[in-house]
């Protein structure tokens, strides 16, 4: 069985083993549209087991001998390092291409060629790229699974999975909750993925943004078709008191063609201790990070501030995803 080289007897409940017939074996994860509620329950069950194993033994050999290529065309702290930590905690190893300018991309190599090169040396790839659709394109050419680590202003599916896992860990099932997303909803790929994923549940969604950064109408339409109530605001005041989860995002400077337009909206919202006085006592405050002034550091010790816990949950979810696509969960 797996879990060799640990000093622990394997629990009969662990959903681990050689599962090459599992529906996720060899699959790419490009969009949250690939998931239904059954899949989510399964992923989170595996993520729970991963957390338990990390707490018990730290590192174990589920993916011993497997190699992840981490291919990042855009900066990252959390996605790159949590996938690295996830792979290493599972006994695997990582080829880090965190700065494509030192790779042959700077000589003009195309994405399909880069991906087809890296898959010769690895079993799974994580790709972050500035263009919408880049992961789908890579998956078209690759034989190994591609995990979308953010494609421009498109999607960030593994982030949405960890965001949903955070909501469930902190609040229980999302049914009945009101989730308010605030900030740059136009360019923010995390909110594009999270709103779609939440539409699988019986939730209410509020969107708070400056007029020029509203949630794209095609996403609103898609969610509307699922019968989910959605409201748009330019100020947080009206939505805050009914909010169970406040999901704050950064204005995505790198997606603005006009720097002046960015300057006008960059400080649109700042969550402070005063803001939190009007929030529910059990509301949770989330942020995919990095924050650049949208949440005051004075809030970091408020028990409702979930953004650091959110990052840790991310590693367990990514461990689960790696095990699934490599046929070990
Ligand atoms: N880190 C997240 C992303 O890459 C959010 C952000 O950068 O604002 O989409
Ligand atoms: N949340 C997130 O994707 O963070 P990074 O951009 O640091 O990877």
Distance CA 69, CA 5 (A): 24
The residue whose CA has the least distance to atom 4 of ligand 1 is 150
The answer to whether 180 and 245 are in contact (CB under 8 A) is yes
Who contacts 185 (Cβ-Cβ below 8 Å, separation ≥6)?
Answer: 191, 207, 209, 213, 214, 215, 216, 249
Which pLDDT does position 234 carry in this prediction?
Answer: 98
SS3 percent helix, strand, coil of the chain, rounded to 5, is 40, 15, 45
What's the chain's length in residues?
A: 329
Which pLDDT does position 44 carry in this prediction?
Answer: 98
Which pLDDT does position 12 carry in this prediction?
Answer: 41
pLDDT tens for each residue of the chain, 329 residues long = 333 333 333 444 556 767 666 789 999 999 999 999 999 999 999 999 999 999 999 999 999 999 999 999 999 999 999 999 999 999 999 999 987 877 889 889 999 999 999 999 999 999 999 999 999 999 999 999 999 999 999 999 999 999 999 999 999 999 999 999 999 999 999 999 999 999 999 999 999 999 999 999 999 999 999 999 999 999 999 999 999 999 999 999 999 999 999 999 999 999 999 999 999 999 999 999 999 999 999 999 999 999 999 999 999 999 999 999 999 98
Does the beta carbon of 79 sit less than 6 angstroms from any atom of ligand 2? yes
Distance CA 205, CA 201 (A): 11
Q: Which ligand approaches the C-alpha of residue 72 most closely?
A: 2
Spell out which residues line ligand 1, taking CB within 6 angstroms. Answer: 150, 156, 189-190, 249-250, 252, 288
Q: Is the peptide bond before 236 cis (omega within 30 degrees of 0)?
A: no
- Tokens at residue 250, please? 């950064």
Q: Which ligand approaches the C-alpha of residue 187 most closely?
A: 1
pTM for the predicted model, two decimal places: 0.94
The answer to whether 326 and 29 are in contact (CB under 8 A) is no
Does the beta carbon of 86 sit less than 6 angstroms from any atom of ligand 2? no
- Please state whether beta strands 178-182 and 67-72 pair in parallel, antiparallel, or not at all (unpaired): unpaired
DSSP E strand stretches across 111-169: 124-129, 146-151
Give the closest residue to 201 by CA, choosing from 179, 228, 181: 228
Which pLDDT does position 222 carry in this prediction?
Answer: 98
Distance CA 204, CA 207 (A): 10
Count of beta carbons in the 10 Å neighbourhood of residue 235 = 11
Which pLDDT does position 8 carry in this prediction?
Answer: 39
Residue 289 CA, closest ligand 2 atom number:
1
Q: What are phi and psi of 31, to 5 degrees?
A: -145, 150
Does the beta carbon of 166 sit less than 6 angstroms from any atom of ligand 2? no
Who contacts 179 (Cβ-Cβ below 8 Å, separation ≥6)?
Answer: 167, 198, 203, 204, 205, 206, 243, 244, 245, 247
In angstroms, what is the span from residue 157 Cα to ligand 1's centroid? Answer: 12
Domains within the chain, CATH numbers bracketed: 32-156+312-325 (3.40.50.1370), 158-308 (3.40.50.1370)
The answer to whether 76 and 147 are in contact (CB under 8 A) is no
């Amino acid at each position: 069985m797996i879990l060799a080289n640990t000093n622990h007897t394997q629990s009969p409940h662990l959903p681990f083993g050689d599962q090459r017939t599992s529906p996720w074996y060899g699959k790419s994860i490009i969009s949250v549209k690939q998931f239904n509620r059954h899949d989510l329950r399964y992923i989170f069950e595996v993520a729970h087991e991963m957390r338990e194993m990390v707490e018990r033994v730290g590192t174990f050999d589920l993916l011993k001998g497997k190699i992840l290529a981490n291919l990042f065309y855009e900066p990252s702290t959390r996605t790159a390092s949590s996938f690295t930590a996830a792979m290493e905690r599972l006994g695997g190893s990582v080829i880090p291409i965190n700065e494509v300018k030192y790779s042959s991309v700077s000589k003009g190599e195309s994405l399909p060629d880069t991906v087809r090169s890296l898959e010769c040396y690895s079993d799974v790839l994580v790709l972050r790229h500035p263009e919408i659709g880049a992961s789908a394109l890579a998956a078209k050419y690759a034989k190994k699974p591609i995990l979308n680590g953010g494609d421009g202003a498109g999607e960030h599916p593994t982030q949405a999975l960890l965001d949903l896992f955070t909501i469930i860990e902190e609040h229980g099932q999302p049914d009945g909750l009101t989730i308010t997303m605030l900030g740059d909803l136009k360019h923010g790929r995390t909110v594009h993925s999270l709103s779609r994923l939440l539409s699988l549940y019986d939730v209410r969604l509020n969107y708070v943004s400056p007029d020029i950064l509203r949630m794209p109408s095609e996403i609103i339409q898609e969610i509307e078709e699922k019968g989910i109530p959605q409201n748009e605001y330019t100020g947080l005041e009206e939505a805050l008191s009914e909010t169970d989860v406040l999901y704050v995002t950064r204005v995505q400077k790198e997606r603005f063609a006009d720097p002046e337009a960015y300057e006008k909206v960059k400080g649109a919202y700042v969550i402070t201790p005063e803001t939190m006085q009007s929030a529910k006592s059990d509301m949770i405050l989330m942020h995919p990070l990095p924050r650049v002034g949208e949440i005051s550091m004075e809030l970091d010790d408020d028990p409702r501030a979930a953004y650091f816990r959110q990052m840790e949950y991310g590693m367990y979810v990514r461990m689960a995803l790696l095990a699934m696509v490599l046929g070990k969960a």
